[in-house]
Amino acid sequence: MSHAWIVLEQLESIEAMSTSKKLITREEWEKKLRDVKIRKEDMNKLVMNFLVTEGYVEAAEKFRIESGTEPEINLATIADRMAVKKAVQSGNVQDAIEKVNDLNPEILDTNPHLYFHLQQQRLIELIRYGKVEEALEFAQEELAPRGEENQNFLEELERTVALLAFEDVKNCPFGELLDLSQRLKTASEVNAAILTSQNHEKDPKLPSLLKMLIWAQNQLDEKASYPRINDLSTAALEEPTI
């Protein structure tokens, strides 16, 4: 009988321990934050890196003038890349392809996935503007061979071609392919490929920092209760929950 009581008692005390997380008040937290030193130059570099990678040429130029931060690559080369990205975002895929090939003919030759997605986008644009006959011919001449060259493309190919079977394309099962977000996806892919070909990192550093922040907060959640940042866009400190 007494043995059972002892066991229960031990269990209770363990539970008590696990609920007692350290509590850090807002004042304590803000004080600790103030003690951490961050350099302005580092932040400027992060901003410049973001602008350059995403391709905001004018903003990057202005930022360079106003902050004195040197971009890591020549701003002139960004202009070419931006022209390509814009072309895709506007649905002028053929134009985008020609521009990429002028910039660097190796990119599409060595990136089969990207090339396929560009061709796919072309087909989507033809369907969007109701050019059914042209779309059919294009699918046969240009997209079908991609499927033959590489089995991995077949599934996506089928989904795209299936659009041709529907009258009301916007509301059919694969209708999301017609969203503008699809164009942005393709544009992003092209952007990354061009950056890589120029020996530049294809992703900006800023997202990595934010991911690190979220991960660190999740880790800390297990040990302490503290003012969290829940909205990354405002970076506002929430009151710690007890």
Partner 1 sequence: MPTKAASNRPEDLAARLGEVSGVAKGEALLKALREVKNQIIGNKTKKRRFLYLGAVPKIVSVLAAADSDGGDPAIIVQAVAAIGSFACGVEDGVRAVVEAGAVPHLIRILSYPNEKVIDAGARSLRMIFQSKLAPKYDILQNKNMVFLLSLLNSDNENATELAVRIIAHSCDNNDEQNALRDAGVLQRLAQLLEGSLNQRVASLGSIAAIIRNNREVAMTFASIENGKALSALTELIHDRYPRTRYLACMCLIAIGQLSSYACDLQTKTNLLLVLVELLEDSGEVGDDSPFALLDIITDNEELQLQAITINVLEKLCNYLEKSPIPLRRLEGILLALAEFCSKSETCRCQLISPQFLNIIVDALKNESTGVRIAACTCIRNISRSVKNLCAGRLSNERVIVPLVRLLNDTSNSVQEATLGAICNLAVDFTSQKSALVKYGGLPLLVQLSKSIVPMLRLKSLCALRNLMFIANRIGKENIISELTIPELASLICDSEHLVQEQAMALVSNLIHGCVDFIRLVFAEDGLIINAVIRQLKNDSATQVCIQGMLLLCNIAAGDESHKDAVLGYLMPSKTEGSNSLMIRFLQSKDQFLRTAAMWCVLNLTDPDSVNSPLRVRKLQEEGILFQIKTMVNDPWLDCKYRVRKVLEQCMVTQSTRCEAQVGCS
Site for partner 1, rule CB under 8 A? 97-98, 101, 104-106, 108-112, 115, 134, 137, 142, 145, 148-149, 199
182: nearest Cα among 217, 145, 156 = 156
Q: Which is nearer to partner 1, 122 or 226 (CB)?
A: 122
- Please give the Cα distance from 163 to 126 (Å, whole number): 11
Contact 81, 179 (CB under 8 A): no
Q: Which is nearer to partner 1, 27 or 133 (CB)?
A: 133
Q: Which is nearer to partner 1, 105 or 207 (CB)?
A: 105
Tokens representing 192?
Answer: 């990354």
Least Å distance, CB 207 to partner 1, is 18
Least Å distance, CB 206 to partner 1, is 19
Q: Which residues contact 88 (CB under 8 A, 6 or more apart)?
A: 96, 118, 121, 183, 186, 187, 190
Name residue 62's amino acid.
K
Least Å distance, CB 110 to partner 1, is 7
Tokens representing 113?
Answer: 């996935």
Q: Which is nearer to partner 1, 201 or 221 (CB)?
A: 201
Least Å distance, CB 40 to partner 1, is 29
